[in-house]
Structure 1
Amino acid sequence: MSGKNTNPARQGRHDRLIQERNHDPYKAQKKLPDPTLCTECKAVFTGSRWQWTEKITRPMNTTLCPACSRIHEKIPAGILKVRGEFFQQHRDEILRLVQNKMDREKAQHPLKRLMNVEDKHDGSILVTFTDTHSPRDIGKALANAYHGELDIHYAEDEDLTRVTWSRW
């Protein structure tokens, strides 16, 4: 009999831990001092997260929050393309839906912001965001409200979500 254990039940697991990728260059590499104030939007990093607060009266450290950094550098984390004949006919209504949803999100989550709405020559619009979840959430809201086609792509090699909603 050899020294090897041939019983498969006793060989142990061959699982491997999968290392989570940290690919968002705008996420702080180390914890910020508590409290830290964003010099641009006045959000405060306290309690391990960015939030809107006016309760802190002691002196604060200052920096730009990740959302303001993305806005200044014009590097979105999410892109929503809205297109189609239906969009052309209901443009104002759809843009109000996008704006209202983002106003509600921003009130609760300071890092979720709408960066820009750009009209394209083909009649579509590109809406850019500071986070990866907003384009998906708004795309789903458009699909629920108006039906149409929703296409979501998550980039593997970068922190970017691309969403297209269309209805012809």
Structure 2
Amino acid sequence: MGTQTTPPGFRQISRHDKLFKERVHDAYRARQKLPEPSVCPQCGAVFQEGRWQWLEAPPGAHQQICAACQRIQDDYPAGFITLDGEFYNAHRSEIMHLVNNIEKREKTEHPFNRIMKIEEKDGATLVTTTDIHLARGIGEAVHDAYQGDLEFHYNPDEYLLRVTWTR
């Protein structure tokens, strides 16, 4: 890091490695550390060793709803995936099987990565997720398997990702 002199009393630090602090504005992220162990009364995920995991809940664990269950309860998704096109309509069940397998794999390791809803709208399918990383993973998996057009639109102020795949 280099230091540049600016007006008296101020110091400007410039980074040469081009790294920047990630802006995360997730309203569902915990503001303070939870007591350990904590268990979500809705899904049974356990907060232990600094993270949420799928474990057996220890007796007397603190009760705390997890962020994924809170998003589901509030109907406030972090990820939106739109799947559309003639190819999609012809291979809908096969592609949706892939989508569900991606969620199953991700949810095993990351309890917050869940599908909230799957809705059919005007010939397209809208999949909503509790986390932006799952939405991105689903979009990339469908694109890798079937090609087509893939677009990402990320809104950091709302911690929201919109993924559109068309073929």
Q: Where on the TM-score scale, by shorter chain, does this alignment land: which range?
A: 0.7 to 0.9
User: What is the TM-score when the length of structure 1 is the normalising length?
Assistant: 0.87
SS in 1 for 2:33: coil
> Which of 20, 23, 37 is matched with 1:21 structurally?
23
Evaluate the alpha carbon distance shift between residue 11 and residue 144 of structure 1 in structure 2; reply closer, same or farther with a 3 A threshold.
Answer: closer
User: What is the TM-score when the length of structure 2 is the normalising length?
Assistant: 0.87
Matched to 1:126, the amino acid is L
| Deviation of 1:10 (Å) | 8.4
Matched residue, 2:85: 84
SS in 1 for 2:151: strand
Matched residue, 1:30: 32
Report which of the two structures shows the higher radius of gyration computed on alpha carbons. Answer: 1
Cα distance in 2 for partners of 1:160, 1:33 equals 28
Cα distance in 1 for partners of 2:129, 2:3 equals 51
Matched to 1:86, the amino acid is F
Matched to 1:101, the amino acid is I
After superposition, give the CA deviation of every residue in 1:30-74 in whole Å (9 maximum; x if it has no partner): 0000000000000000001000011x5341000110000000000
SS in 2 for 1:27: coil
Cα distance in 2 for partners of 1:64, 1:90 equals 37
| Deviation of 1:19 (Å) | 6.0
Aligned length: 157
After superposition, give the CA deviation of every residue in 1:89-121 in whole Å (9 maximum; x if it has no partner): 000000000001101111111111000001002
Cα distance in 1 for partners of 2:78, 2:30 equals 15
| Deviation of 1:21 (Å) | 3.4
Matched residue, 2:130: 130
Cα distance in 1 for partners of 2:117, 2:158 equals 20
Matched residue, 1:70: 71
Cα distance in 1 for partners of 2:67, 2:59 equals 23
Unmatched 5+ stretches in structure 2:
6-10
| Deviation of 1:86 (Å) | 0.4
Q: Cα RMSD over matched residues?
A: 2.0
Matched residue, 1:42: 44
Unmatched 5+ stretches in structure 1:
1-8
Evaluate the alpha carbon distance shift between residue 104 and residue 15 of structure 1 in structure 2; reply closer, same or farther with a 3 A threshold.
Answer: same
Matched residue, 1:3: none
Identity %, equivalent residues:
47
Matched to 1:28, the amino acid is A
Matched, 1:143 2:143: yes
Matched to 2:144, the amino acid is N
Matched to 1:155, the amino acid is N
Matched residue, 2:53: 51
Cα distance in 2 for partners of 1:57, 1:157 equals 37
Cα distance in 2 for partners of 1:26, 1:49 equals 15
For the 8 Å contact 2:77–2:116, the answer to whether it is kept is: yes
| Deviation of 1:16 (Å) | 5.6
Evaluate the alpha carbon distance shift between residue 59 and residue 153 of structure 1 in structure 2; reply closer, same or farther with a 3 A threshold.
Answer: same
Matched to 1:158, the amino acid is E
